[in-house]
Amino acid sequence: MKYSPRYRLLPTTDQRESLDWTRDIVRQTYNHALHEFNKIPEDAGTLRQRVWQVRDQLPALKDWWTSLKQVWSTVLQKAVERIRDNIQNLGKLKAKGYNVGSLNWKAPREFRSFTYRQSGFELDKKSGPKDRAILQLKKVHGETIDIPVRFHRDLPDHDTIKEVTVKKEPTGAWYASFCIKTDTPDKPDPENIDPDDTVGLDLGIVNFIHDSDGRSVNRLDLSDERECLEREQRSLSRKEYKSNNWEKQRQRVAEVHADMSNKKRDYKHKLAHAYTTAYDAVFVEDLNVKRMLESRQNVRNKAEVGWRDFITILKHHGRKHGCHVVEVEARGTTKECAECGVETAKPLWVREHSCPACGFEIDRDWNAAFNVQQRGWNKLGVVHSEATPAETATAVDALEVSASRVVETGSPCLKESPKATSRQG
């Protein structure tokens, strides 16, 4: 599988200027290539062939655009090939029902990265102090520069680094992503999976996750960060547009945004790591987030929790750790009784499931997690008894896990057996 861990770069002031110069030249190359690409008729070849026609013009382009000679060749080639990648991504969005247009020229603030492919870079992990490395990049404004890297973790086992993407965030910080190829662990055969080694996840707003083993994981509390963001945005609105003070305050707002995004992403990665290392199969609802965000009810909280982002991260960790991650139909998981299957309508303010047919009572999210697990068994093909998951658990209060406890990768709080669940003999 392809894996792209990201590391913080610590360039000097002169190196920052050189990186910015290179980034802008690559941006102009992309814009020129897009202009040339649009002049080629669609019947002149496939998308790949038309992009290659533009890429083959680069050597002649260097004769009159001398600045291109100060940039590594594969960096320029990758910039042209980005046109093909962007068109393919637009096609995927269109297939999902999004209204997409055509590619536009990139403004300086919209084009933030450039990529070295196979050559032009070298990572030295032995030089420098502890937790530091040196990334050597060739032809950055015509020079070879050595940039310190905050090497907070080692790269996974790999043969070679395929690509290095250097990116400038809106905060002004520079990062490097190393694209490597690692061995994909084998996933266990569904027929050999013990149902006890599986878990169903119900995703919500009040509780971010409620699983079929009785654990309830709270949402990440970002109220303080949100208040800070509002203050900084108010301050930004009072500055003269594009003045020096406005630019400093814009960067401050971007830093608050980045801090919130980093905390949410880190939180989701730790949860995903914990679940995919503790179980052989993880079942999760296939939520139609796009349609949910189009409604008028509680949209801000729905957008902030980031369900689809968590599912994507969960699948990544599933491939990384050899764990099945299966999405199941979400419709009816809350209404359906996990004990007898009878559907009961419940408004959002009703937090307990009480079945009028069999009398089964349990937290509504725990009941939904049982249904997700049952549907996951059937979809994946896990051999299980006809008894429902609810028949093996006692309907009592669930074990609640605070978001503040998820502080380390593979948090023990997600591996220990829930105190609320007991097996009936």
Specify whether the CB–CB gap between 363 and 353 falls below 8 A.
yes
The three state secondary structure string of 100-122 is CCCCCCCCCCCCCEEEEECCCEE
State the DSSP code for 381: T
Split at pLDDT 50, 70, 90, the class of 425 is very low
CB half-sphere exposure, 319, CA atoms < 13 A: 12
pLDDT in tens, 187-209: 989 888 888 899 999 887 778 88
Cα separation, 230 vs 34, whole angstroms: 38
**Could you tell me which residue, 333 or 72, shows the higher pLDDT?**
72
List of long-range contacts for 262-270, beta carbons under 8 Å, 24+ apart: 263/220, 263/222, 263/225, 264/220, 264/222, 264/306, 265/309, 265/313, 267/220, 267/403, 267/406, 268/306, 268/309, 268/310, 268/313, 269/313, 269/317, 269/409, 270/406, 270/407, 270/408, 270/409, 270/410, 270/411
- Where are the alpha helices (H) located in 213-305, listed in sequence order? 223-237, 244-278, 289-293, 299-305
Cα separation, 7 vs 85, whole angstroms: 24
- Pairing verdict, β 198-203 and 281-286: parallel
Split at pLDDT 50, 70, 90, the class of 315 is very high
Specify whether the CB–CB gap between 147 and 15 falls below 8 A.
yes
Q: Which of 7-11, 27-31, 138-142, 282-286 has the lowest mean pLDDT?
A: 282-286
- Where are the alpha helices (H) located in 324-422, listed in sequence order? 364-380
Cα angle for residues 392, 393, 398 (degrees, 5° grid)? 160
Mean pLDDT of the chain, nearest integer: 85
Cα separation, 125 vs 146, whole angstroms: 12
Count CB neighbours of 395 within 10 A: 19
Instruction: Name the pTM for this structure.
Output: 0.79
Q: What is the pLDDT of residue 413?
A: 42
Task: Check residue 45 and give left, alpha or beta (phi > 0: left; psi -120 to 50: alpha).
Answer: left
Cα separation, 392 vs 377, whole angstroms: 15
Has residue 302 got a pLDDT over 80? no
Q: What is the pLDDT of residue 422?
A: 36
- Pairing verdict, β 399-401 and 215-218: parallel
H or E element in which residue 213 lies: none
Residue boundaries of the structural domains of the chain: 2-181, 190-414
Cα separation, 331 vs 299, whole angstroms: 19
